[in-house]
Amino acid sequence: ALRVSEQAIRILGGAGIMRDYPVGRFHRDALVYVIGEGTSEIQRNIIARDLDL
């Protein structure tokens, strides 16, 4: 989702980040998911902790 929204913003240029277009919102939403998931290392630590490893 993040890659696609970044490509759409590049295609639309400056208009892609304006609030008039939903692409900017899609991009911000995709960023939230990426940040919320954390890094791969953090995810591994959480899984290891949950599995008592």
Active site residues: 37
* Residue 45, phi then psi, degrees to nearest 5: -65, -40
Question: Does residue 40 come out as left (phi exceeding 0), alpha (psi in the -120 to 50 range) or beta?
Answer: alpha
Residue type, 32: V
